[in-house]
A and B are shown apart, each in its own frame.
Chain A
Amino acid sequence: MMRRTPGILILLLLAVPALGQSLKGMRKEFARVGDNAVPATVVVKSTENSGPGGSTGVIIHPDGYVLSDADATIVMSRDAAGKVTKRHTVDAIIKLPAPDHRTFLAEVLKRDPETDTTLLRITDPVKKLPFVPLGTSDALKVGAFNITIGNAFGSGNEGEPALSLGCVSALIKRDALGGGKYQMIYTSAAVNPGSNGGPSLDAEGRLVGIVSTWERDPASPFRTLGKVTPIDLIRASFATLDCFAKVFPDPRMMKARSDEAAVLEDAFSIIARHTYPSVACIEVTRKEGTKLTKKIRNPLLGRVKGVPPFVEVPRYQGPYSGVVYAKDGLILTCSENLWAYASIESITVHLSDGRSLPGKVRARDGYRQFALIEVEANDLIPLPPATKKDLEVGRFALAIGNPFGDQPQEAPLFTFGVVSGVHRLSRDMDAIQTDAGLVDSMVGGALVTLSGKFLGLSLMTNPEYYGRNSGIGFAIPLSAMEKSLPQLLRGKDVMPGYLGIGMPITNERGQMVFSSVAPKGPAGKAGLKARDILLEVDGRKARHFKTVAEFIDYAKARGPGQTLRLKVSRGAGEAELEIILGSPPER
């Protein structure tokens, strides 16, 4: 046995470089960016802030010029009632990260609330500070790598700031002259409390913008993505300062990106651009008086005493995304985008070429959560479908959405991730799981492979359960949609069978117990009562359903009008019921 070992070893050594050459090149790629930029990423606090918090800032000149956000040096005076009476800027404390740990005083040269930036200068005598070279935001492309570094969750106070890798998700064009091409960069890199004012870098490690905050507006199609002020806009805003020429030199050429990073981000941009024409923006107008909130379980329940069990939260009202299904005007979207279905007044479909067309719902599959919308067009461009071979855990999954309405941009809304898992949600949905960020406006959009093939239609995840932008996203593949597409094409809705019951619970003996039954619902009419214990379903023992969800799926898959035979135990006796499944009420 022992004699064999060298042979195996040699084989292994030979095999390793051949296996992962590109990977090897990539492994340290962003570590190099970090090595340069992390020492120049500082904590910025007002001199009146003695707490642990603080914004982030970035040194952009070795003589101690620092860019940060507009709030970094703001102090608010409050009256006895806690109302803000005065806001004033004060000097700042700049703290270098570990292992340097030096602290300096700095003065505000200019604070610009418009771009949410402040330029500071360290007043203590310094030179040769580590700094981040400036890049240009005008050269950015959607899909390009984007790195944010910041004092997220206070990480920079004692140690190093936190670095996160994402990509440019959207570039919002600017109407005004001067100040570069873009008004705003949306990044998929992590932006958290404390990150504001930190650097946003390209793959070469150049500064392309200053992190403002993450998008918090529940009505925004970019909610949860990071907001970054483009560096070219910042340049314009500080152009009148005496030190401008010194502090804001022309963008530098850096050492070229490594082949691997360049290839990957270029591939992302290419796919984003090519997929854009196949992803439509869907605007839904609802009648006046439509309830625009939904009731959810209070997330504070059980954590804070005395809170109501349910709260009303605003619903995202669009714009949504859709994916071209057929050349002659058929577009797929997620049926969850068509909530309050009866109250929908009109649907407008915006295409990437600037056309806006009235849309009509052909039919919906409420069970598989997709719908078919038709528009008058015969030149739409469907995506090539992915096959089983394209679906592998660990492969890239690129999420493409179009929230741009009648203001088409150069590229779609884009995030990248990988295929995290397959065969999710239910057997019938066979959904693909991804960690690509699926923001609200991407629901109904496309998840595609690194060669631009259509993996699936992005679905709504339950944010109350899975959180927002938490890296848990699902898409339904074409193969699953095809099971009901013929019906939908004929204009026939496919709806899940509806029982009219609350979520059953499992009792201590592992049996399913009906917790609540709507008396006028299909199950209630058939005689099902709360506290009934499920014994048999269609002649099959109840324990064949591993989970409550499996039983519900089974009933849903049956469809309205179909019969479900249940045997339940009630008190000492038993009852047999025939439930004629109904259609779910519209939400």
Chain B
Amino acid sequence: MVKREFTPYHLAMPRLTKFATALLLFALIAAPTPTSAGDAGKGSASRFTEAELEVLEKAQKFERELVRVVEKVRPASVSIENWQKVGGVIRPRGQGSGVIISGKGYILTNQHVVQGAVEIWVSLYDHRRFKARLVGNDPRGDVALLKISGSRFKYKDPRRGRPDRLSAGEWVIATGNPFGLAGDGEPVVTFGVVSGLERILPGQFFYGDAIQHDAKINPGNSGGPLWDTNGNLLGINGKIATNNASGGGPSSSGAGYTIPIDQIRNFLDAMLAGRPVRHGDEILGIEQVKTHYDRDGTANGARVEKVRDASPAALARSGGVRVGDVVVKVVVNGKPYTIRTMTDFITRISPLAEGSRLSLVVVRGRKRVSIGNIVLEVKKEKKGRGKR
């Protein structure tokens, strides 16, 4: 039923016979002599005291549990190649990572991993290779949904992860394809802890609410999964902050950023249907906010700097949101959130999908004004929506 394409193509290459011969010859020339490694193992048994052995045994139990989690998540982590047409020929131009989120072969990755691709190739942990199809994407949020054909793929349910329950200091595991090292499909595993939450990363790919962690991720880890210690998917890695002062090319300095899976879930239906994805902050129409400081310097709200004409914010009740309003509270799906900074505001609004309902409490002059029931709808006539 399941077509098993167990042709790990580089292993199947005939050149290896030659290689093996070369190795064999080498081995024959280099026959072991009595003085070799034999020494290395001696006197090892009694190195530790009883008490030390007890500590080591307990620690190894913990290690085994970690390995079990790694074994659980590795098969869902994939390597991705971005093939582009250069000089009339389609060639690999970049590499990244991804994660399988359904048995039918749906794969999440970053938009920037598949950007400009003519062909997308996916390598699985068991060295199988598939050509993938782009199902849908969120170009601004840097998420793309791919599909490979087949069934019964090992996957991780994206509904299980709870990034909203994370706190700084929790252990996380990253798997992926840094520097193309997992080009064969077997993911590279790194560990770390959550460094912080609700990070905003500006740029062409706008991360409105990212998880920061110190598991080492590098160029090539993009699109790859971040896991909790239960093996649940927390999100996909996409950016790093590099500290070039330490020399060398761009690489990890212990600050990696992950798009949380609960945010991606909001847009999954749209991506599955191939519909354009719009984030809450794009639809709402409050285009610029600034942290508002009290006279004593305490951050106390998000001051609206710019509102798009005819946007849901402009057309809302109570005369719409106006420039100069200071947002102090956002209510999303009945849940209130206090807003003290620009970051608070953006991280609440940006992850929202089309159709979400929210209300705002703003301070306008000396009055508190509730602006209720704003529906995030995209107007049909989209012609006016130019690039901002």
Contacts and interface: CB of A to CB of B under 8 A. Distances in A.
A586 interface: no
Nearest to B68: A19
A384 B47 CA distance: 10
Nearest to B297: A103
Interface in B27-43: 27, 29-33, 35-37, 39-43
Given A467-B246, A472-B179, A163 B19 contact: no
A20 B179 CA distance: 32
Residues of B in contact with A, size category: 35 or more
Contacts of B193: 30, 163-165
B334 interface: no
Given A218-B247, A557-B22, A394 B168 contact: no
A393 B187 CA distance: 10
A454 interface: yes
A190 B168 CA distance: 14
A153 B212 CA distance: 12
B169 A33 contact: yes
Contacts of B241: 152-153, 192
A192 B253 contact: yes
A509 B88 CA distance: 9
A418 B29 CA distance: 35
Interface in B161-215: 167-171, 173, 178-179, 181-182, 186-200, 212, 214-215
Given A164-B214, A326-B40, A27 B170 contact: yes
Given A22-B62, A190-B214, A483-B30, A163 B18 contact: no
A388 interface: no
Contacts of B40: 325-326, 382-385, 454, 478
Interface string A218-247: 100001100000000000000000000000
A466 B248 contact: yes
A382 B255 contact: no
B41 A384 contact: yes
Contact of A22 (B19, B22, B31, B65): B65
A422 B31 CA distance: 25
B7 interface: no
B23 interface: yes
A393 B214 contact: no
Residue picked from A384, A394, A468, A485, most chain B C-beta under 10 Å: A394
Contact of A101 (B30, B194, B299): B299
Nearest to A323: B40
A161 B196 contact: yes
B381 interface: no
Contacts of B182: 421
B199 A192 contact: no
B214 A465 contact: no
Interface in A470-490: 470-472, 478, 482-487, 489-490
Interface string A418-453: 111100100110000101000000000000001111
Nearest to A104: B297
Interface stretch (A3-11, A58-66, A539-547): A539-547
A360 interface: no
A548 interface: no
B86 interface: yes
Nearest to A424: B181
A158 interface: yes
Contacts of A557: 19, 22-23, 26
A260 B55 CA distance: 10
Contacts of B384: none
Contact of A470 (B10, B56, B251): B251
B251 A468 contact: yes
A102 interface: yes
A544 B229 contact: no
A308 interface: no
A485 B36 contact: yes
Contacts of B190: 417-418, 420, 435, 471
Contacts of B29: 487
Contacts of A164: 192-193, 195, 214, 254
Contact of A160 (B69, B197, B217): B197
A463 interface: yes
B237 interface: no
Given A101-B340, A508-B86, A452 B47 contact: yes
A109 interface: no
Contact of B168 (A38, A417, A427, A435): A38
A216 interface: yes
Contacts of A450: 56, 59-60, 63
Interface stretch (B105-113, B137-145, B324-332, B341-349): B341-349
Interface in B204-234: 212, 214-218, 228-230
Contacts of B115: none
Nearest to B88: A508
A193 interface: yes
A428 B193 CA distance: 34
A266 B189 CA distance: 24
B233 to A, nearest CB: 16
A554 B26 CA distance: 13
Contact of B65 (A23, A38, A451): A23
B365 interface: no
B189 A420 contact: yes
B67 interface: yes
A467 B18 contact: no
Interface string A14-55: 000001111100111111111100100000000000000000
27 contacts: A20-B65, A20-B68, A20-B230, A27-B229, A31-B167, A38-B168, A159-B198, A159-B199, A162-B195, A165-B214, A192-B243, A382-B40, A385-B37, A385-B40, A394-B71, A395-B67, A421-B186, A428-B23, A450-B60, A451-B56, A454-B40, A465-B179, A469-B246, A470-B218, A470-B248, A483-B27, A486-B36
Given A32-B169, A223-B246, 19 more contacts: A20-B68, A23-B65, A26-B62, A26-B171, A28-B170, A31-B167, A152-B195, A162-B255, A190-B214, A192-B241, A270-B48, A326-B35, A383-B40, A394-B71, A417-B191, A465-B248, A468-B247, A486-B36, A554-B19
> Which 8 A-B pairs give the minimum distances between C-beta atoms?
A471-B216, A467-B251, A190-B254, A394-B70, A384-B44, A470-B251, A267-B59, A103-B297
